Amino acid sequence: MTQWLTLSRAARLIGVPRGALQRQVRDGELPTNDGLVSTEGLLRLYPQWDLEDSGAFERVTKLKEEAFGRRVQERVLPSQEVLAQRLYAQSRELADLRRHLARYHALVVAVGEKLDALARSPPQAAEIADLRTSLETGLALVLATESADALTIMDDMLKVVSAHVTVRPSGHEFFVEGRDTLLQAGLKAGLKLNYGCGNGTCGLCKARVVEGELVKAMPFDYPLSEAERAQGYTLLCAHSAGSSDIVIETLEAHGPGEIPEQEIAVRIRAVSPLATDTLLLHLQTPRGSRLRFLAGQSVTLYGGAGDVDAQAVYPVASCPCDDRNLLFHVARNAHDAFASLLFDGALKSGDPVTIFGPTGDFVLAEGERPLAFVACDTGFAPVKSLVEHAMAVDAAESMSIDWLATRADGHYLANQCRAWAEAFDRFRYAAHVDADAARGARNLVAAMATELPLAQHDVYVTGPAPFVDAAVAALGSAGVPSSQLSAAVV
């Protein structure tokens, strides 16, 4: 029996980017019905797909979780309450189907007995016998055991361990897994949901539940009015999915201009070396304060030791899905007082730092074009955030990173790039070396142009000013429209 799936659910089952299925729909390779695709069509297009051998779902999900920095060794199931609620809903549906079948069977048997009685009264015997044969054939077809395809079985199983959420009016979709709240799951999926504290106090994540049932995941202090409760409003940060399909109604940010600037007092969680002249700075916000930002944006850090106060603007190198743990790549720089405090050990784990931001519009644009990232040295920091966000959104059919190093340890996270390229079929990574940033940018773009149809990509350029200026000029000459080009100096 044919089952119809949304593109998001289909991509999840097959283990391909959603953008790949969108392209196949546009090219006419994958038929659709009201925006849905059938399991039969998917299996015709992907005949090599095999649940037992490929482990596509587990593999892709694990890679995406690792990309977010979550050290997950095994999948965490929802709570017993949520599992029981979902299993009960599916059992009730199965019981209804069986009851209808039993009643149908009893009806057909009764009709058959009446036909048997009529068959003993000629002259209608031949006609009634033929009708009896047709009835038996039809009944056999109705009651016959039909093997469900593997995708249908897999989809039914996933409905138990994960819930599918649709957001109105945007139409965005995401999945709730494990013990995640709706807010946590939405942020991990790259959605720009409105929220503040994340712990049930401010009420900024308030949304209306249109369809489905929720379960309370934690206590909350925000007082919903009786009118709001009657209309189905609830807090996304304090609830998880009870049923397997949820529809909520809430507004989402459309760009950096809708993300408010925030000032948060945080502490240094850790300072660790990425390379000889590059540090990883890990800041953690208090439980009641989280930094809301978009992938690719920057913040200003204020800190000091003794009578020395310093400030610096750094792009966030982590995914917005983990808004409490903020990562930064800091290069040794004698002209950067904040970096000097970190390298000298004057700023260390446990010390207070103030964050102000976010700022900047170096964020992913809405669209379905392939993504190309061009970075120089610590310009990789915002690229890392953008790549992890793009993986979460799962809309880009392919991604490419070209990374120029102008110093000895410029490729300080090359292993991460190689891991992405090895894990994802349409992920390209190329390392470049040149002590001159501008010359290196021109050579880098020339090399890209021999491998990629650059005019068909959305291109993101980041690094020091000479690199960015030269790369933007070279990309323009290579045919990349300015509307598909975004740049930021870091």
- Alpha helices of 121-201 — where are they, by DSSP H? 125-143, 150-161, 182-188
Label residue 110 by pLDDT band (50, 70, 90).
Answer: confident
Contact between 212 and 243 (Cβ < 8 Å)? yes
Taking the domains of the chain in order of start, what are their residue ranges?
Answer: 4-64, 80-146, 161-252, 258-359, 371-489
CA 59, 153, 82, 221 torsion: positive or negative? positive
Label residue 201 by pLDDT band (50, 70, 90).
Answer: confident
pLDDT > 70 in the chain, percent: 84
Tell me whether the omega of the peptide bond preceding residue 169 falls within 30 degrees of 0, making it cis.
yes
Mean pLDDT for the chain? 83
Give residue-wise pLDDT tens across range 328-340: 999 999 999 999 9
pLDDT, residue 71, reads 38
Distances (CA, A) of 438 to 119, 379, 404, 451: 95, 14, 10, 21
pLDDT, residue 128, reads 73
pLDDT, residue 321, reads 79
pLDDT > 90 in the chain, percent: 41
CA pair distance 137, 132, nearest whole angstrom: 9
What is the CATH code for 371-489?
3.40.50.80
* Mean of pLDDT values over 171-195: 84
* Mean of pLDDT values over 219-241: 89
Q: Output phi, psi for 295, to 5 deg.
A: -55, 135
pLDDT value at 247 more than 80: yes
DSSP state of 362: -
* Mean of pLDDT values over 363-389: 92
To the question of pTM greater than 0.95 for the whole model, the response is no
CA 239, 244, 246 angle in degrees (round to 5)? Answer: 60
CA pair distance 174, 395, nearest whole angstrom: 12
Q: Output phi, psi for 153, to 5 deg.
A: -65, -45
Label residue 63 by pLDDT band (50, 70, 90).
Answer: very low
The larger pLDDT score, comparing residue 318 to residue 108, is at 318
Topology, domain 258-359 = Elongation Factor Tu (Ef-tu); domain 3 (2.40.30)
* Mean of pLDDT values over 119-134: 72
161-252 CATH, one of 3.10.20.30, 1.10.510.10, 3.40.1280.10, 3.40.50.300: 3.10.20.30
Other Cβ atoms closer than 10 A to 293? 24
- Alpha helices of 297-411 — where are they, by DSSP H? 337-344, 380-393
* Mean of pLDDT values over 137-142: 70
Label residue 208 by pLDDT band (50, 70, 90).
Answer: very high
* Mean of pLDDT values over 32-39: 79
Give residue-wise pLDDT tens across range 161-178: 778 899 988 888 888 887
Same fold, 161-252 and 371-489: no
CA 148, 161, 293, 301 torsion: positive or negative? negative
Please list the residues that pair with 489 across neighbouring strands. Answer: 463
Q: What is the DSSP annotation of 216-258?
A: E-S-------HHHHHTTEEEGGGEEESSSEEEEE--B--SGGG
Distances (CA, A) of 162 to 76, 81, 88, 250, 375: 11, 13, 15, 21, 37
Count of residues for the chain?
490
CA pair distance 315, 91, nearest whole angstrom: 49
